[in-house]
Structure 1
Amino acid sequence: MLEELEVRGLGPIRSAVINPGPRMTVVTGETGAGKSMLLDAIRLISGGRVDSARIAGTGTQECWAQGVFRVAQDSPACDEAAEAGVDVEDGELFLTRAVPASGRSRSMLCGRTVPRNVLAQVSRSLVVIHGQSDQLRIASPARQREFLDSVGVDDAVCSAYATAWSEFQRVDERLARLQGEQAENRQRADYLRDCLARIDAVDPAPDEYGELRDKRSRIEHAAAIAQGVSEALGVLDPSQLGEEGSGVVDLIGRSVQSLRGIHVAEPFADLADRLENVSQEISDVVFALSDAGAVMDGEMDLDAINSRIHELDDLLRRWGPTIADVLAWRDHARLELEDVDASPEQVDLLRRERQDLLDKAWKTAEALSGERAKAGEALSRMVDQELGSLAMSGSHLEIRVTRRTDPGLLDANGGDDVEFLFTPYPGADALPLGSSASGGELSRLMLALELSAVSYRAAERQGRDAVPSHDRCTYIFDEVDAGVGGRAAVELGRRLARLAREEQVIVVTHLAQVASWADDQIVVSKRVDPDAESVDTVVRPVTGDSRIAEIARMLSGDQSQASMDHARQLLHSSVLG
């Protein structure tokens, strides 16, 4: 609830501080004194706009307003503040706006600069303004649905539908995304198949490329290789070439025999052994050279090798740089192709899941619709009863809940169209709220709605503890008494006082019959400064005799003994039973 409102430089108000009570506070004063400026200040801190021309009369270059609200730590306003990065300390929220005569305004939440729309979001759960310029807040079907849900629909039913809708939306979005990707997936699948077919046709082996290049190198140098091998063999062992003569192997054999023929063991036996080892090593070389020559004779022709290398080079350019990379890409492509090919099955599966979730959401929406229809009927009856006591007998509010016929028409708020239709007098057409009532009638209709809402909520929470004062919302009514007098004015005041048992209520009124029901009263008056030749506005609370004098002024325009006695009697009788 609002604990303090401070205003500087707004219209004729140079500086003012008001501290409304937790129940009903009335703001009274002569016409033109500036009562509406206090409402402008509240609109200002609630993120509303203000005409810079209203600043000019104060002699300042900036108007400034700040509201201090007492809130619970788990209130929606604290949640909104937290989303804006603002921590609430000691259960108090400070909403501040400064608007210069020219230039951009500044918005602050608990001393931290925030966008103006943040103040608007935070204040939505703190303040409800019912003034001639504010009534259209509930004129839209969306706001009417929100109001009906907040009054008469079980939170569990709303939560159940919100969960069902969220699950449906998740699968619906996934399905739409997958369907949108199907054409791209088909193209990708065709590409993968072509690539895999190309790689499989070549069927490369891991070490094949290097081996083929070595073979090609040998074939390209075959003549030089053959000549070198032949010459080497001719020196080492001519018999390998079918020639006669002594080679290195034969000569070393003779040397060994000569050394063995010496009958002195050392060092000749050791030297003979060493020559035999050399002969064996040379024999191994001869065998290797002979084998290399045989391999050369059996290798494929150069054209076949070049053709194979060309095929492998094509793979390496596309998926290399090595054969191992090509084979790894092939394995990955096969797995990806399985996923891409499976997308039609995934689409069918998601379609079935989407339909199941849509059916579930539709059934949940039916329960939500039933709750709304029940609450709408009950709230309409209660509002009509209240209107009869507010000098609007014969007026009728119809809360129409129209169930949509197709599950495809569901949205985040269910499957209903909610509309508030108002009939101002018998025989008149039922028209949408906001286009069928005058400002005063609309204010009283909103009062009837708020009173009925409080009564409905109270009936629903019977047996629970009363709502603590720091959880109260602040309701502000302006021009609610337009066109009302006599007994209807008394009933209007009584109902405002009754609303104040549950919520904080601030009323701007010119009727004593309404003001007398208040727990607190604030008077706005003009103050003339002859020296400065200026007029400003004074805001002051009144109690005791001062309040009796103000009620007397409101009754008869003076403070005669008769009007004072009348004021005392009115205050004495304006007490809720």
Structure 2
Amino acid sequence: MLRSLDIRDILIIDRLELAFQPGLNVLTGETGAGKSILLDSLGFVLGWRGRAELVRAGAEQGEVVAVFDLAPDHPARAVLDEAGLPAEDELILRRVNRSDGRKTAWINDRRASGEVLRQLSDTLVELHGQHDDRGLLNPRGHRALLDAYGGHDALRADVRETWAARRKAAAALDAATRALDEVRAEEDFLRHAVAELDALDPQPGEDAELDTRRRLMQAAERVRDDVMRAHQAVGRDGAEGAAGDALRWLEGAAATAEIEAIDAPVAALGRALIELGDALSGIESVLDALQFDPRELEQAEERLFEIRRLSRKHSLVPDDLAGFASDLRDRLAALDGGEQDLEDRRKALAKAEAAYDTAATALSEARRKAATGLDAAVMAELAPLKLDRAVFTTTMTEEAPGPEGRDAVAFTVATNPGAPSGPLNKIASGGELSRFLLALKVCLAGESSGLTMIFDEIDRGVGGATADAVGRRLESLARDGQVLVVTHSPQVAARGGHHWRVAKAVRDEATLSTVTPLDTPERVDEIARMLAGDTITDEARAAARALLGS
């Protein structure tokens, strides 16, 4: 509910504070008094696109503050949460328009964009009038209005869920088809490459091992000769034999003559023989390693050549060939099992399409039933509004399937039996259009929970009993909510629970607009003015009292 509207330095308003109430709030005044400026100001703070320049002449900036009360389940809370803004029971919107054209907005004292304001406005305010393209006159919203009237939330949820499953299944089939087509295009390459790699079976690290082994075998003859010489120099015919002889001679000398000085060289030669023995064993191991079959060198060179040829062919380092072969085998396996996979995915898509078709058909049937009920309800409202010869029809045509079903919905009217029907704003005249919108809104009132409804001169072009019927329906709409009405009709104004008079005056050579809340005697005079004009007679006051008491 809109609780207050504070306007400063906007057009011909210098300072204005309005405290709105639940129920039917009416604003009256002479043409040009500034009633439209109030709506412009509210639209400005809600982020609507309107006049480019709003700042009052001579002021540096104009400012509008709107305060709304939010119920715990109000949909505006979801918008605030999505925007990362605090959601409280009181929502304060503030927007400033500077004289240089710059605009700045705050939501609960946090900077916000015009786009967030517009998203919030869709949950806060609903404007109806002859130039409204955001509400009932917009055919893009008719399907949602019909669904709200019919209570189709569960059916729509089923359609959206099955549509998402259908899209997912279709995307999976498309991806599998494209993948299989790509594999088929390279089938010959895959089979040849896999056979070639499987025949060679390269292993990670094998290239380095083969290269080392090949180099060793290539240098083996030269290395072996040097190692044999070392073996001879260290062995029995060399150092080991000489050291053994020296040790025996020293030990013999020590046994013949007790000479303590011989013990040290004997011990040293013993240690030297142990080290020489270790060296000889190592040299013999080297000699064993240098033993090779000449055919082994040839085989190593051939295998090394093949590994490197395939690495160049596939632009890989040799160690990656094994992993590459595994990937190719997987792609071949996908090719071999691809047809079965495609068939499985086709069946999954067919199942998803059947589920969507069932859900969409159920929603279409419910919409047709709701359309029949809505048409009857609107027609019942048209007679008291002096549109008893008009025909209201909710048309449904099939469109491309989507998350909201397969139905295009539009509200159409024919002003007389037998006349062609068409969109509301193309067929009906100004006064007729206003009454059509009101009748439709009365029937759809349930979907506007939590919204402040604004009717901008919706009673234009009607009077007498028809205006009274308009006022009664506005009063009914406001019974469980909040309705703001800008009106020139005394019959409508008399139905208001709260009444403001908009007037224009000249002060200090400046034209300013004022808005005054009216008590009962003042309401009598205002409605009398609306009935009689500038000169208010006793008869006009009596008629005004009669309207207020009816």
- Normalising by the smaller structure, the TM-score range is 0.7 to 0.9
Q: Which whole-Å CA distance do the structure 1 matches of 2:186 and 2:87 have between them?
A: 54
Contiguous gaps of at least 5 residues in structure 2? none
In structure 1, the residue matched to 2:428 is 437
Residues 1:251 and 1:540: Cα distance change in structure 2 (over 3 Å): closer
CA–CA distance in structure 1, aligned partners of residues 61 and 227 of structure 2: 106
- Aligned in 2, Cα 1:453/1:252: closer, same or farther, shift over 3 Å? closer
Q: Which amino acid aligns with 2:522?
A: S
Go from structure 1 to structure 2 and tell me whether the alpha carbon gap of 1:250 and 1:67 turns closer, same or farther (over 3 Å shift).
closer
Residue 126 of structure 1 corresponds to: 124
Indicate if the aligned counterparts of 1:260 and 1:272 stay in contact, CA closer than 8 A. Answer: no
The aligned residue for residue 452 of structure 2 is 474
How far apart, in 2, do the equivalents of 1:451 and 1:436 lie? 20
The one of 496, 502, 506 equivalent to 1:518 is 496
Q: Which of 548, 564, 576 is matched with 2:524 structurally? A: 548
Deviates more, 1:226-235 or 1:345-354: 226-235
Q: Is the 8 A contact 2:123 2:450 kept in 1?
A: no
Aligned to 1:81: 80
Q: Which residue of the partner structure matches residue 8 of structure 1? A: 8
Residue equivalent to 1:383: 378
1:489-538 deviation digits (Å, cap 9, x = unpaired): 11111111111113311111111111111101110011222xx2232111
Aligned to 2:503, what secondary structure does the other structure show?
Answer: strand
The share of aligned pairs that are identical, in percent, is: 32
User: What amino acid is the match of 2:402?
Assistant: D
Displacement after TM superposition at 1:341 (Å) = 6.0
Partner of 2:23: 23
Identify the residue that residue 52 of structure 2 maps to in structure 1.
52
- What residue identity is the alignment partner of 2:97? V
- In the other structure, the counterpart of 1:216 is 214
Instruction: Work out the number of aligned pairs and report it.
Output: 544
Task: Choose the corresponding residue for 2:170, options 152, 169, 172.
Answer: 172
Report the secondary structure of 2:86's partner residue: coil
2:359 to 355, 361, 364: 364
Match runs of 1:418-429 below 5 Å: 418-429=409-420
Secondary structure class of the residue paired with 1:472: coil
CA distance in 2, matches of 1:290, 1:375: 98
* Counterpart amino acid of residue 451 in structure 1: V
The one of 391, 394, 399 equivalent to 1:396 is 391
User: Quick one: distance in 2 between partners of 1:297 and 1:164?
Assistant: 72
Would you say the 8 A contact 2:217–2:292 is kept in 1? no
2:411 aligned with 1:417:
no
Secondary structure, aligned partner of 1:371: helix
Give 1:22 deviation, angstroms: 0.5
Q: How big is the shift at 1:217?
A: 3.2
SS state of the match for residue 15, structure 2? strand
Note if 1:143 corresponds to 2:141: yes
Counterpart residue type for residue 477 of structure 2: L
Q: Determine helix, strand or coil for the equivalent of 2:427.
A: coil
> AA paired with 1:420?
F
Q: Alpha-carbon deviations, 1:165-199, whole Å to 9, x = none?
A: 22222333343344444444556877765654443
Q: Once the two structures are superposed, what CA deviation does each residue of 1:206-240 show, in whole Å capped at 9, x if it has no partner?
A: 665455434433443344345435545666779xx
Distance 1:499 1:207 in 2: 83
Counterpart amino acid of 1:546?
E
After superposition, the CA RMSD in angstroms is 3.7
Matches within 5 A, 1:56-205: 58-89=57-88, 91-135=89-133, 137-186=135-184, 196-204=194-202
Check 1:360–1:568 CA distance in 2 against 1; reply closer, same or farther (3 A cut).
same
| Inter-CA distance 272–158: structure 2 relative to 1 (3 Å threshold) | closer
Pick from 447, 465, 482: which aligns with 1:487? 465
Deviation at 1:11, TM superposition (A): 3.1
Give me the whole-angstrom Cα distance separating, in 2, the residues matched to 1:561 and 1:272: 148
Change (3 A) 1:6 1:353: same
CA 1:218–1:516 in 2, change beyond 3 Å: closer, same or farther? closer
Could you tell me how far apart the structure 2 residues matched to 1:505 and 1:345 are?
Answer: 63
Report if the CA contact (8 A) 1:52-1:99 is conserved. Answer: no
Distance 1:307 1:390, change over 3 A: same
Shift of 1:544: 1.7
CA contact (8 A) 1:369 1:403 kept: no
Deviations 1:284-325 (A, max 9, x none): 9499659938964633375554333333344566687674x5
Q: State TM-score, norm by structure 2.
A: 0.86
The answer (yes or no) to whether the contact 1:253–1:276 under 8 Å persists in 2 is: no
- Give the 3 Å change call, closer, same or farther, for CA 314–442 of structure 1 in structure 2: same
- CA separation in 2, counterparts of 1:61 and 1:361? 58
Identify if the C-alpha distance between structure 1 residues 211 and 100 changes in structure 2 by more than 3 Å, giving closer, same or farther: closer
Within-5 A mapping of 1:290-369? 292=287, 296=291, 298-300=293-295, 303-314=298-309, 323=319, 325-331=320-326, 334-335=329-330, 338=333, 344-369=339-364
Supply the AA of the counterpart residue of 1:37. Answer: I
Per-residue CA deviations over 1:448-472 (Å, capped at 9, x if unaligned) read 0111123xx49xxxxxxxx9xxx63
SS in 1 for 2:39: helix
